[in-house]
């Protein structure tokens, strides 16, 4: 593992002490690690280490509770949202060639899905891995500077897709304007999906019932906020990232807000006890000790 340069290591600072809530550990401070360009896609492994992407620099880093950050890989196919599957493979939405793929134990990249109905995907953004190692991913569209000029939006909608064990892909949501953050509950029944701009121009998060064949039913309004990325704690609260970290109860009531110096892009829980909230936010990542724990 490569070490980060000295400049990055020296930018670890405590930036803010929070008024306490029962979610946050007593005396906890928000700690900042800076030196990135577009921090995104945090994914926690079985040991509590968090892998996150820096897409503009085409890198993946690892954060460890007692060691800070180290560089894991350069040349990531422009990884964005990520999550580990049950076999320890790092599943990633990669935007270099508009794919869903994974990195194996040797850091080699493999494609899972690259198109739908004979057309290129828009730009896979965030992914949820089910208990059966099947995949839901969001596919909005933002033109990337690293794409060829002639690449355009080929899909007729900005959708959400499901990939089964056989590698078969199907579209399961087709009525969002900008699907983005996605997360499932631990019992494998409910999937939360954020729309960063609904038909009326607002931002909302919805929840669905996951069916054995991957279909999503029972679309239900959850929260009046979209989300770039999201996570869940062991009380069933959902953490959305939209200008700040918004914490919603299982019933969809806003119960807490966490403000960080930069607009957050994604969030997860990590650390040995899964009690560290890890927030990515463009040029920096932030950690905050919590009273609650993550579900992964």
Q: H or E element: which one contains 212?
A: none
Q: Are the C-beta atoms of residues 190 and 206 closer than 8 Å to each other? A: no
pLDDT (tens, 9 = 90+) of the chain, 296 residues, equals 444 443 443 344 343 444 457 999 999 999 999 999 999 999 999 999 999 999 999 999 999 999 999 999 999 999 999 999 999 999 999 999 999 999 999 999 999 999 999 999 999 999 999 999 999 999 999 889 888 988 889 999 999 999 999 999 999 999 999 999 999 998 899 999 999 975 555 699 999 999 999 999 999 999 999 999 999 999 999 999 989 999 999 999 999 999 999 999 999 999 999 999 999 998 999 999 999 999 98
- Coil, strand or helix: which one is 147? coil
- Coil, strand or helix: which one is 9? helix
The full set of domains in the chain, from first to last, is 2-289 (2.120.10.30)
Query: How many Å apart are CA 11 and CA 34, to the nearest integer?
Result: 6
Query: How many Å apart are CA 96 and CA 74, to the nearest integer?
Result: 13
The helix/strand count (H/E) of the chain reads as: 1, 26
Supply the DSSP string of 225-283, one letter for each residue: ---SSEEEBTTS-EEEESSSEEEE-TTS-EEEEE--SS---EEEEESTTS-EEEEEEEE
């Amino acid at each position: 593992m490569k070490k980060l340069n000295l400049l990055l290591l020296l930018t670890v600072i405590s930036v803010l002490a929070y008024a306490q809530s029962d979610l946050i550990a007593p005396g906890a401070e928000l700690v900042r690690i800076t030196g990135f360009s577009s921090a995104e896609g945090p994914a926690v492994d079985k040991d509590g280490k968090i892998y996150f992407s820096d897409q503009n620099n085409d890198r993946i880093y690892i954060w460890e509770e007692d060691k800070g950050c180290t560089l894991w890989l350069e040349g990531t196919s422009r990884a964005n949202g990520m999550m580990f599957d049950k076999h320890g493979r790092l599943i990633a939405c990669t935007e270099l060639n508009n794919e869903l793929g994974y990195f194996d134990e040797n850091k080699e990249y493999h494609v899972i899905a690259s198109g739908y109905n004979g057309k290129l995907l828009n730009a896979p953004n965030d992914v949820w891995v089910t208990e059966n190692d099947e995949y839901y991913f969001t596919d909005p569209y933002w033109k990337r500077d690293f794409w060829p000029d002639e690449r355009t939006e080929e899909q007729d909608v900005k959708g959400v897709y499901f990939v089964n064990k056989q590698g078969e892909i199907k579209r399961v949501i087709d009525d969002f304007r900008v699907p983005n953050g996605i997360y499932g509950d631990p019992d494998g029944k409910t999937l939360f999906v954020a729309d960063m701009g609904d038909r009326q121009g607002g931002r909302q998060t919805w929840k669905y019932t996951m069916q054995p064949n991957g279909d999503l039913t029972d679309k239900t309004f959850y929260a009046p906020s979209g989300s770039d990325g999201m996570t869940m704690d062991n009380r069933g609260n959902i953490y959305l990232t939209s200008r700040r970290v918004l914490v919603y109860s299982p019933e969809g009531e806003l119960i807490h807000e966490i403000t960080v110096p930069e607009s957050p892009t994604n969030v997860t829980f990590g650390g040995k006890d899964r009690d560290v909230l890890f927030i990515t936010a463009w040029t920096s990542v932030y950690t905050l000790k919590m009273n609650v724990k993550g579900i992964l």
